[in-house]
Structure 1
């Protein structure tokens, strides 16, 4: 077996174990030793793959964002207009949150922790890229005359807040279909001409 493939597979397995533990007990309950024990390995093996909890948590964030991009960005890019792309982004995000509750709990645990080896969402380049993409989408909608004039940065922040609420609601068991429909209508009311 290719050692690079085996190493990559082991790292992916350790990220999944960490996601599970973070979703269950948060950052404070996810010590490096406890992660190793849950994975059925020694702390030394965990150290071989990750240089510490900060690196492992960073890999968790990378993984969750990559899944989000894979599942949502294609919907946005397939939309025929900026307005429909905005609706696809909202709808796709809500369905992603509902399907990936475990991952979103882990991400939330990392972002809301005050532990020294975690970072805030705003410090992550993935989050900044998402915000930039949303801003570009809103500007394109304005330029196409599909969206009214508004401050793009403020609207992007409002949209992020609406989607943060969707994370909490889907985690609590809200049906993603009606929730997505309502949020698409809400965003449309906020942005339409």
Structure 2
């Protein structure tokens, strides 16, 4: 009976440390976020962090994974896979931006890590790079829309990359300019890519 209890406690502690790391990153930035700062926020010693994580890099990778997992769960809950391709694309964009709007702290923490790790080859984990795992589902959606006749003829790859870049840039804008009208920005992107992909425009 003791082992499940210990596992629960360890999981809760790891979650607490990751959440405190996200708080520190969003408020202090990557360079000023240290294990000591995170430990203070969690009201624990740095040795406790070292018990669960191999170091700052290991903890940062866990932060990246946590943000992406939560974002995926959020979008899955808002996307109806039985909807037409045109509606799916609109929902894809809207749900991505809705997650960012409602979780700016997490998005800012992720951005801090990515910005500082981008110049170090091999440091960023796969989920933080625009690889097949991110772009392929979007490409498949675009191809499906072409097959059903909802979308015009175009190369799905550059369109998928452009959509992802637009979403990421929107989140960066919201972090930099928190007073920006996010609803208007979201609707503009939805309209932009609806016109860019729709057949017969």
TM-score (normalizing by structure 2): 0.87
> Deviation at 1:45?
0.6
2:185 to 167, 179, 188: 179
- Judged with a 3 Å threshold, the aligned counterparts in structure 2 of structure 1 residues 184 and 33 are, in CA distance, closer, same or farther, namely same
Deviation string for 1:22-68 (max 9, x for gaps)? Answer: 11122111122222222221111101111111111111111111111
Cα distance in 1, alignment partners of residues 161 and 9 from structure 2: 41
Residue-pair matches, total: 191
In structure 1, list runs of 5 or more residues that go unmatched.
Answer: none
1:95 to 93, 98, 105: 98
Cα distance in 2, alignment partners of residues 118 and 33 from structure 1: 26
Aligned CA RMSD, in angstroms, stands at 2.1
Cα distance in 2, alignment partners of residues 55 and 118 from structure 1: 14
Q: Give the aligned partner of residue 163 of structure 2.
A: 159
| Residue aligned with 1:51, SS | coil
In structure 2, list runs of 5 or more residues that go unmatched.
Answer: none
* 1:18 maps to 2:21: yes
Cα distance in 1, alignment partners of residues 11 and 121 from structure 2: 23
The 8 Å contact of residues 94 and 179 in structure 1, kept in 2 or not, is answered as no
Q: Which has the higher contact order (CA 8 A, sep 6+)?
A: 1
Cα distance in 1, alignment partners of residues 120 and 51 from structure 2: 21
5 Å matches for 1:1-193? 2-78=5-81, 80-114=83-117, 119-120=123-124, 123-125=125-127, 127=129, 128=131, 129-171=133-175, 172-173=177-178, 174-193=180-199
Find the structure with the greater CA-based Rg: 2
